[in-house]
Amino acid sequence: MEFKDRVVVITGAGGGIGTAIAKKFTDFGAKVALIDIKEEVAQKTVERLGLTAENSFCLGADISEEAPVKEVVKKVKEHFGRIDVLINTAGIPGPSARTEDYTFEDVKKVYGVNVFGTYLMMQNVLPIMQEQKKGAIVNFGSVSGMFGYPYEIGYGSSKAAVIFLTKNAANENGGNGVRINSVSPGWVDTNMMKTVWESYADVGIENSMDNVTIGPTGRPARPEEIANVVAFLASDEASYVNGSNFLVDGGMTLG
């Protein structure tokens, strides 16, 4: 795969998956715009990966709000001159709670980042890609957005929304050089996974593994395994892939 001098925007760039995605693209020669809630969080990814001012640009933004998204997209375009790839990695899990106990405030917070953040980033990047007549967007769904798991009404439904945001936008843009797809991981070995497992205590589950299905692979994914699929979907090798949701779960959902 070749991404030499292409500009890749990554939200949630300070997290485990975001960091792995940044490494994958820069290893292939890309320049990356790293976005997280605070610029210093994105900067830590630069330091961990040994990136330079030439191939990285860090920004802080609350992507659940319209004005900050417009501003960071404008800054990326001004800094690099173009945007070739958008990876909407940013997401939050929300609490573990039964539907009747899941507060409206928590639902709004989860939707704000997972759904509205993804939508706002696409909305503001798409015109740039359309003008270039080429671009690729990869959004993050989840197995939770495909199957009805307990105690995650906010997260699961938000990821279902992302999967279908992807399909709507892909249908609109498939003929103009812009492809849009999503990936839906199962468990990934990150801090978010640990946070979710610990939160099962809030619903009375003493042993978190009682509410966890790993699948036949017998382990969570490594972040770089998710990054591999993301890079493929953004690459020219996936030129005929549009509107797809790639399940990357090690067989977890096989039953």
Any domain includes 48:
yes
Exposure string of 103-112, with b = 16+ CB inside 10 Å and e = fewer, is eeebbebbbb
* Tally of domains within the chain: 1
Any domain includes 60:
yes
Rounded Cα distance, 91 and 129, in Å: 23
Q: In 174-220, where does DSSP find H-type helix?
A: 191-199
Active-site hit among 119, 155, 200, 240: 155
Q: Does the reported pTM lie above 0.85? A: yes
Any domain includes 191:
no
Q: From residue 140, how far is each of 65, 159, 166, 183, 245 by CA, in Å?
A: 19, 8, 9, 5, 9
Any domain includes 204:
no
Burial of 203 (0-12, 13-18, 19+ CB in 10 A): middle
Any domain includes 97:
yes
Any domain includes 50:
yes
The residue written with tokens 């009747």 in the block is: 100
Per-residue pLDDT of the chain (255 residues; tens, 9 = 90+): 889 999 999 999 999 999 999 999 999 999 999 999 999 999 999 999 999 999 999 999 999 999 999 999 999 999 999 999 999 999 999 999 999 999 999 999 999 999 999 999 999 999 999 999 999 999 999 999 999 999 999 999 999 999 999 999 999 999 999 999 999 999 999 999 999 999 999 999 988 887 888 899 999 999 999 999 999 999 999 999 999 999 999 999 997
**Which CATH number is 145's domain given?**
3.40.50.720
Any domain includes 210:
no
Respond yes or no: is residue 102 known to be catalytic. Answer: no
Rounded Cα distance, 254 and 42, in Å: 36
Any domain includes 1:
no
Rounded Cα distance, 79 and 77, in Å: 5
Domain that holds residue 159: 7-186+224-249
